[in-house]
Chain A
Amino acid sequence: MNMRAEIAGPTYSGKTASVGFVRGPFARVDATRSGGRAVGTPSDEALALRTALAAANRQIASLANAAGGEAAQILEFQIALLEDGDFLDSIFAAIGTGTPADAAWSSALDDQIADYNSAPDEYLQARSSDLADLRDRVLRKLHDGVNEALQIPAGAVVCADDLPPSQFLEIDWSSGGGLALLRGSPTSHVAMLARARGIPMVVQLGEVAEQAQVALLDGEGATLELDPTLEQLGLFERRRRVHRQNHTAARAILGTPAASWHGEKIRLLINIQRVEDLYHPDAQYADGIGLMRTEFLLGKQAGLPDEEQQYLAYDAVCRWGGKRAVTIRTFDAGGDKPVRGFTTDGEANPFLGVRGLRLCLARPDVFVVQLRALARAAVRGNLKVMFPMVTIPEELETARKLFVDAVAALTGEGIPATLPELGIMVEVPAAALTIERFNASFFSIGSNDLAQYVTACDRSNGSLDKLSDPLHPAVLQLISRTAEYGRRHGSSVSLCGDMAGDPRCIPALLSCGLRELSVNPSALAQIKQAIDTLSPGVACD
């Protein structure tokens, strides 16, 4: 037992992004672009960069030798940049003033890339992808070298300035742990991932000490305590016990008949990020899967997923569903979910860029593989497929055409396949306002993006929390319109954003006319309880 002096360690308070309690080692990681990379002294950082540059240089030189010709000339440009003293001086100067090696390197390269992209002629614009390649190659070298030296201990409270989703996914959360961010936002994509995985997370903690042994993260009271006294530990454990008891009480409700509101049945579905999420003990109580994200398939190291890999995942989920409907969303990459080799680099405004279905239609080589795998899984009969970020009906029809062609091709090859029910995500205001133009058999409201686009607030920007309220009347109006349209035309309308998992939003959503909500498995009990509280005594099954 740690018998430290009874002097209270520092306590910080922030905002809850994901509830739960963690007591574990404190692991501070560098903020920018460093999946678990520790920042050393300026001279360590300079050495790390020199080593990475030399390794990248050797690698490119041997590539150039092997390639020859035009390719070699392009690579020579990369080598010339790696040997450009003036260029490197400014990077090492930044490191000298305390900037981490990877941040200094990226920022210099990003400046160059932006400069090339803004060039009036295409030739120079095209060079920017060489620079992005060089940037990433050196970053990989930097991270390889240091990741081995610094491992995040199991069950740690990871503390960072902010964390992009890709880095969250790089961390091994299998033995628990929590996330404490100095900035960040409860509505960011990372917060969503943390809630889905049941990882407690607190954001907007402000300044936090660089070092500590033990951390207590309270995702309910939104506090972080470092190197606590025995008394602090006791209080923490007491709060944790109360939280667990409440959770157990809420879970008891799952076994009761279906949720209802004013006598109408409310279908409660679950959102899953990957097949393993179905192992959550509460998942079995769901009325179906309202949203299965498929981006996890893109996160694998060895390139984009093949048809067989995808088919196995989709088929596993359909088998789990049995008679219950399973809704799978096609790749929703782009925005704050970049995927190497798939998404477009260097967009000035990626949230308004080539993302979701826009990207899939631009990359039929990737999309058709997914459609084939889905068409094969659809043979089980309970599959619905929806497209994200649809703006105009033509996009849905183009996707449908690709799907029909994929089914025909599979059938021609003698492989069983069928066209599933096709629906769209309602998250672009233009689509929500003209919902009657879409020939979709169902609609799923993506309230996170819808609220972001309607309120013109970046959802990862914590300083806009007040403005980006999903309960804004404009957002609710669009939800009502969509629900009303679905009701009149007999097409199902569900909502799968964070609002559905937030008990405070439930009365408004039901009043808007929604009767299907899709939430993370861990929120199922709480939401069922919230609905039952609104409408006591009326049960239906």
Chain B
Amino acid sequence: MLETSKPDGHIVTGSVQLVHAVGMHARPAVKLTKLAKRFQAQISIRASGAVEWINAKSVAKVIAMRAARDSTIEIKASGEDAAAAVAALVDLVATDFPDTGQ
């Protein structure tokens, strides 16, 4: 499930299957954007098959993506903590957005 790659020095990519029962809805989207915002990196995601990358820090856009259950989410990030960001987001999706209790 987890596969990160580093095609050049700046952009980190990864992809992960969305296992959440109802797809990328409000609660998962809020968790994903909250986590993304902890990183300095610019992070974009898209549901595989979609053309457009969207800002992973915008909850409106993440929901509007309408990613369904079992679709694959592609993630790419650039910036200092890009690798950590992609790893964290892949983990969040792969573990089905656990309640961390903050």
Contact = CB atoms under 8 A, between A and B. Distances in A.
A84 B59 contact: yes
A84 B33 contact: yes
Contacts of A76: 27, 30
Given A85-B57, A119-B66, A121-B22, A77 B27 contact: yes
Contacts of B64: 115
A84 B64 CA distance: 13
B55 interface: yes
Nearest to A74: B26
B53 to A, nearest CB: 12
B59 A127 contact: no
Contacts of B55: 86
Contacts of A123: 22, 25
A296 interface: no
Interface in A68-93: 73-74, 76-77, 80-81, 84-87
A338 to B, nearest CB: 25
A169 interface: no
B34 A80 contact: yes
A124 interface: yes
A86 B55 CA distance: 8
Contacts of A73: 26-27, 30
B60 interface: yes
Nearest to A86: B58
Contact of A81 (B23, B59, B66): B59
B33 A80 contact: yes
A112 interface: yes
A87 B27 contact: no
Contacts of A112: 60
B72 to A, nearest CB: 19
A82 to B, nearest CB: 10
A80 B36 CA distance: 12
Contacts of B57: 84-86
Main secondary structure of the interface of A (DSSP, over half): helix
Contacts of B23: 121
Contacts of A130: 26
Interface residues of A, number: 18
A123 B21 CA distance: 11
B60 A87 contact: yes
A77 B33 contact: no
Contacts of A84: 33, 57-61
- Which one of A74, A80, A87, A130 has the highest number of Cβ atoms from chain B below 10 Å of its Cβ? A80
A123 B20 CA distance: 13
- Which one of B34, B58, B66 has the highest number of Cβ atoms from chain A below 10 Å of its Cβ? B58
Contacts of A74: 26
Given A87-B60, A112-B60, A115-B64, A80 B25 contact: no
Contacts of A115: 64
B61 A86 contact: yes
Nearest to B57: A85
Given A80-B33, A80-B34, A119-B66, A87 B25 contact: no
B60 A81 contact: yes
A85 B27 CA distance: 18
A303 B83 CA distance: 53
A46 B34 CA distance: 25
A81 B57 CA distance: 10
B30 A80 contact: yes
A80 B22 contact: no
A77 B60 contact: no
B58 A77 contact: no
A127 B63 CA distance: 11
B27 A124 contact: no
B60 to A, nearest CB: 4
Interface in B1-58: 22-23, 25-27, 29-30, 33-34, 55, 57-58
Nearest to A89: B58
Nearest to B59: A80
B46 to A, nearest CB: 15
Contacts of A124: 25, 63, 66
B24 to A, nearest CB: 10
A74 B60 CA distance: 14
Contacts of B26: 73-74, 77, 127, 130
A86 B27 CA distance: 19
Contacts of B60: 81, 84, 86-87, 112
Contact of A77 (B59, B61, B66): B59
Interface in A490-521: none
A112 B50 CA distance: 20
Interface in A423-463: none
Given A123-B25, A124-B66, 13 more contacts: A76-B30, A77-B26, A77-B29, A84-B33, A85-B58, A86-B55, A86-B58, A87-B60, A112-B60, A121-B22, A124-B25, A127-B26, A130-B26
17 contacts: A73-B30, A77-B59, A80-B29, A80-B33, A80-B59, A81-B59, A81-B60, A84-B58, A86-B61, A87-B58, A87-B60, A112-B60, A119-B66, A123-B22, A124-B66, A127-B63, A130-B26
4 closest pairs, A vs B, by CB?
Answer: A86-B58, A87-B60, A80-B59, A77-B26
